[in-house]
Amino acid sequence: MRDDIQFLRGIAVLFVVIYHSGLDFLPFGYLGVDIFFVISGFLITKLVLERLESNSFSFLDFYYRRARRLLPALYCTLLFTSALSLLFLTQSQIKDYAYQFIGAITFSANMVLPLQTGYFEAAAEGKPLLHIWSLSLEEQYYFLLPLALFLLPKKSRLVVLSLAFIISLSLCYLWMTSVKQDSPFLWMTSFQKYAPLLWKFGEPSRYEWAFYLLPTRAWELLVGSICAWFYIYDKPLYIPIWLKRLCLAVIISFGLINITPSHPDIEALIVVMATSMLLLGKDNWLPKSAIVKSIEKVGDWSYSIYLVHWPLFAFAYLSFVGKVPDYISFLIIFSSIILGYWQFKFVETPFRHKEMGRLFSKWKPIA
CA distance 174 to 207: 11
Total Cβ atoms within 10 A of residue 253: 14
Query: Percent of the chain having pLDDT more than 90?
Result: 71
Question: What confidence tens digit (pLDDT) does each residue in 290-306 have?
Answer: 999 999 999 999 999 99
CA distance 131 to 213: 14
Total Cβ atoms within 10 A of residue 289: 9
Give pTM, 2 decimals: 0.90
CA-based R_g, the chain, Å: 20
Question: What confidence tens digit (pLDDT) does each residue in 344-364 have?
Answer: 999 999 987 764 444 444 445
The secondary structure of 158-179 as a DSSP string is HHHHHHHHHHHHHHHHHHHHTT
Is 140 within 8 Å of 171 (Cβ atoms)?
A: no
Question: What confidence tens digit (pLDDT) does each residue in 107-132 have?
Answer: 999 998 888 776 777 677 889 999 99
Residue 64 confidence class, pLDDT cut points 50, 70, 90: very high
Mean pLDDT of 198-224: 75
The secondary structure of 92-141 as a DSSP string is HHHHHHHHHHHHHHTT-HHHHGGGT--TTSGGGGG-TTTTHHHHHHHHHH
Q: Find, among 36, 44, 38, 51, the residue nearest to 222 by Cα.
A: 38
Question: What confidence tens digit (pLDDT) does each residue in 325-339 have?
Answer: 999 999 999 999 999
Q: Angle at which helices 91-105 and 59-88 pack, to 10 degrees? A: 170
Ramachandran quadrant class, 307 (left: phi over 0; alpha: psi -120 to 50; beta: rest): alpha
Query: Percent of the chain having pLDDT more than 70?
Result: 87
Name, in order, each residue with C-beta under 8 angstroms of 104's C-beta and a sequence gap of 6 or more. Answer: 74, 78, 129, 132, 135, 136
Is 221 within 8 Å of 46 (Cβ atoms)?
A: no
> Angle CA(166)–CA(1)–CA(160) in degrees, nearest 5?
20
* Of 8-22, 144-158, 183-197, minimum mean pLDDT range: 183-197
Is 129 within 8 Å of 99 (Cβ atoms)?
A: no
